Amino acid sequence: MFSFLIERLRRLRPAGPASYAGHARSALGALLALLITAVVTRASLGAASAAALPYLVAPMAASAVLLFCLPAAPLAQPWPVIGGNVVSALVGVACVHLGDPLIAAPLAGGLAIAAMAFLRCLHPPGGAAAVTVVLGGTAVHQAGFGFALMPIGLNSVLMVLAAVAWNNLTGHRYPHVQPAARPLDPKAGFASEDLDAALDSYGETLDVSRDDLASILIETEQHAAERRAHQRSCAEVARPLPASLTPEMPLATARALLLRHGLPALPVVDSEGRPLGVLSMAGLVAAGGAAARPLPARARRATALLFGRDTAPTVADLIEMEFVAVEERAPLAALLARFHDGAQQVYVVDKEGRLTGVVRPGDLLAGLGGEVLEAAA
């Protein structure tokens, strides 16, 4: 029984890591904002009014939690903070005339919520502002509707201005600008109608905008795809080499291998299987005419003819030193970088530098079901 209660309590804990540095930043910002708000409002009220009226109303501390701990929340934006507090205070003043606080205070709280929802300025501390007016005493009641502007309205404006300055100085955007709407592609995992259906079925108002939520989900999918790409190695998507060439191999044999396998190029390796370069079909075509042969090959050919020792050309005459390779234990992200640079195929080598396989874009796409290429786009 005891373990069951402990487990239930653990589930009530907020999810996510605690940022103690962030909390300290928020607490300091709230402290400074409340202090500045109190000093400026008291000076604005004057000595006589400041002695009778509160120059810092309690709901401002609740507003500070949203403004400095959750500056991106929809309920913490300037219009909800200023409009929510002022509108709720006006509702509270109207309810004071009902007489009995036992009825007026709950009614003020409920009507304030309705008014804020209708005016799209829902702000949780606004409900407290409405009740504060009802229970504020004679001085507050005598101030009437003016109390909604001074001190509550001025308090709210000063808190927002302080939040703008503090959050932007400490690297947090405020007011929060909605991200540009990003199209949701069904191939990426979900579409707009899927998100709308999920929000409708949730049945509660979330303290995050729909566009922010969509951006978070898209970023999550991309990070997940990148993580999977880093967890898998290049060897997992490589296919065995169909053939390889040696420098001494006659060009006629190399040409036959290229045609047989239908490849744009084949690797040239030494006696231990380490790559020396490639022989491409394009290189063979360019060497079809004597004038197009590379200078070293033409020179050797001319020398052989001069001394009567004509020999058949070999792979070494046309070897190309461009060779794109990755180590077989490297993450798939390394392949993405090579293909992004324009490689048509990437060779895979072991830790000793010996060729073990080859990867083409189709191999990578088939191995990952397209998820990594979608994330990299």
What DSSP state is assigned to residue 150? I
Residue 45 token pair: 């009220």
Spatial separation of the C-alpha atoms in residues 94 and 199, rounded to whole Å: 36
Asked whether the bond before 175 is cis by omega within 30 degrees of 0, the reply is: yes
% the chain with pLDDT above 90:
37
Instruction: Decide if domain 236-284+312-376 falls under CATH 3.10.580.10.
Output: yes
- What's the number of CA atoms in the CB half-sphere (13 Å) around residue 263? 23
Domain boundaries, the chain: 19-169, 186-231, 236-284+312-376
Residue 133 in this model has a pLDDT that exceeds 80: yes
Predicted local confidence at residue 8, as pLDDT: 60
Are the CB atoms for 80 and 74 separated by under 8 Å? yes
pLDDT of 248 above 70 = yes
Three-class DSSP category at 267: strand
Peptide bond into 151 cis (omega under 30): yes
Name the least confident of 116-120, 253-257, 338-342: 338-342
Q: Find the farthest-apart pair of alpha carbons in the chain and give their distance in angstroms, rounded.
A: 123
Q: pLDDT at position 308, please?
A: 46
Rounded to an integer, what distance in angstroms lies between the CA atom of residue 224 and that of residue 106? 48
Q: Residue 326 in 3-state DSSP?
A: strand
Find the range with the poorest average confidence among 47-61, 77-91, 104-118, 324-338. Answer: 324-338
198 falls in which pLDDT band (50, 70, 90)?
Answer: confident
How many residues would you count in the chain?
A: 377
What is the mean pLDDT of the segment spanning 119-132? 95
CA atoms of 85 and 118, how far apart (whole Å): 14
Name which of 219, 210, 165 is nearest 189 in CA terms.
219
pLDDT at 231: 65
H-type alpha helices, the chain: 2-11, 20-52, 59-69, 78-96, 101-118, 124-134, 138-143, 146-147, 154-169, 192-202, 210-231, 251-261, 281-286, 295-306, 332-340, 361-368, 371-376
pLDDT confidence of residue 143: 93
Grouping H, G, I as helix, E, B as strand and the rest as coil, residue 268 is strand
* Residue 38: per-residue pLDDT: 96
Indicate the range of 97-101, 137-141, 155-159, 192-196 predicted with least confidence: 192-196
pTM for this one?
0.55
Residue 310 has pLDDT above 90, yes or no: no
Residue 362 vs residue 57, higher pLDDT? 57
* Residue 17 confidence (pLDDT) above 70: no
Handedness of CA 261, 267, 270, 273 (dihedral sign): negative
pLDDT tens, residue by residue, 23-69 = 999 999 999 999 999 999 999 998 777 778 999 999 999 999 999 99
**What does the pLDDT read at residue 114?**
97
Q: CB under 8 Å to 344, separation ≥6 — which residues?
A: 264, 265, 360, 361
- Euclidean distance between CA atoms 89 and 258, whole angstroms: 83
Is residue 227 over pLDDT 70?
no
**170 vs 17, more confident:** 170
Higher pLDDT, 58 or 216: 58
Q: Can you tell me the distance from the alpha carbon of 318 to that of 280, in angstroms, rounded to the nearest whole number?
A: 9
Residue 63 CB neighbours (<10 A): 32
